[in-house]
């Protein structure tokens, strides 16, 4: 993964390609085994554990924000947030467990949506933003790979991908949500995905970045991978 990010950063020096999409939703659907404390009762009774059951998480991105650049091996990386000194492409995310949904409207600190072509092919998502609790951060990381390369490496196409044998996560997916009193709920293991939905809304031509403003973005791309792996 570090090699892919390094190559992506080098691609910045050649300028960015246009991305023909404005708003995209990425949804991971499956089940989770529960067992993690849910003190505020976001997904069930307070002071209980998250119960096993159906699971889904949806991330919404505005591809006109942040920095967009092509990957030399095929694919696209969209990256941004206050930690990088740019606007964030995240419009928030939501988690549904056993029919109960929690919306997290902010992802302003750090956000990344990356698709990478090849065998395997990759769909990597990470979003972090301030929570209602002072000093706490809501966040989620889902790095998924398709062993045979059949996962579309595009930000411009609607698709419904059914997970196959050999597919899986590059690292354990996780999410964490805090309430105003500092208690929270989340999962850092036990998530199994059976389906991925990618929905493109309001297609529009987005100008490429060109060469202006690219100074230092190669280092930024490498830093992005470091904070994501550190968070996992």
What tens digit of pLDDT does each residue of 144-191 get? 999 999 999 999 999 999 999 999 999 999 999 999 888 999 999 999
One digit per residue, pLDDT tens: the chain, 232 residues? 433 433 333 343 334 444 456 899 999 999 999 989 999 999 999 999 999 999 999 999 999 999 999 999 899 999 999 999 999 999 999 999 988 999 999 999 999 999 999 999 999 999 999 998 888 999 999 999 999 999 999 999 999 999 999 999 999 999 999 998 889 999 999 999 999 999 998 654 433 333 233 223 333 343 444 344 333 3
Residue 212's pLDDT is 32
Assess whether the previous peptide bond of 187 is cis (omega < 30° from 0): no
By CB neighbour count within 10 A (0-12 exposed, 13-18 middle, 19+ buried), where does 155 fall?
A: buried
CB 75 within 8 A of CB 152: no
Helix/strand/coil for 228: helix
Q: Report if pTM > 0.75.
A: yes
Residue 109's pLDDT is 96
What does the block give as tokens for 195? 């389906």
Residue 21's pLDDT is 61
User: Quick one: which H or E segment has residue 119?
Assistant: none
Angle at 3 between CA 138 and CA 73, to 5 degrees: 105
What does the block give as tokens for 10? 């080098």
Q: What does pLDDT average to over the chain?
A: 82
Pairing of the two strands 191-201 and 168-169: unpaired
> In 10 A of CB 35, how many CB atoms?
12
- How far apart (Å, rounded) are the C-alpha atoms in residues 70 and 19? 9
Residue 206's pLDDT is 39
Residue 144's pLDDT is 97
Residue 232's pLDDT is 38
CB 26 within 8 A of CB 196: yes
């Amino acid at each position: 993964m570090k090699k892919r990010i390094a190559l992506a950063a080098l691609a910045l020096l050649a300028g960015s390609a246009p991305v023909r999409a404005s708003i995209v939703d990425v949804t991971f659907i499956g089940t989770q085994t529960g067992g993690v404390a849910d003190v505020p009762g976001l997904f069930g009774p307070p002071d209980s554990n998250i119960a096993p059951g159906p699971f889904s998480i949806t991330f919404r991105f505005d591809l006109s924000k942040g920095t967009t650049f092509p990957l030399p091996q095929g694919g696209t990386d969209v990256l941004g947030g206050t930690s990088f000194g740019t606007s964030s492409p995240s419009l928030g995310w939501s988690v549904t467990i056993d029919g109960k949904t929690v919306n997290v409207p902010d992802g302003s600190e750090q956000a990344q949506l990356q698709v990478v072509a090849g065998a395997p092919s990759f769909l990597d998502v990470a979003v972090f933003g301030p929570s209602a609790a002072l000093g706490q951060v809501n966040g989620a990381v889902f790095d998924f790979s398709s062993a045979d390369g059949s996962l579309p490496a595009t930000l411009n196409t609607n698709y419904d991908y059914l997970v196959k044998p050999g597919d899986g996560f590059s690292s354990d997916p996780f999410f964490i949500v805090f309430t105003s009193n500092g208690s929270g709920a989340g999962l850092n293991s036990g998530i199994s995905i059976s389906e991925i939905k990618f929905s493109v809304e309001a297609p529009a031509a987005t100008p490429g970045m060109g060469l202006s403003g690219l100074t230092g973005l190669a280092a930024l791309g490498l830093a992005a991978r470091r904070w994501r792996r550190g968070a996992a």
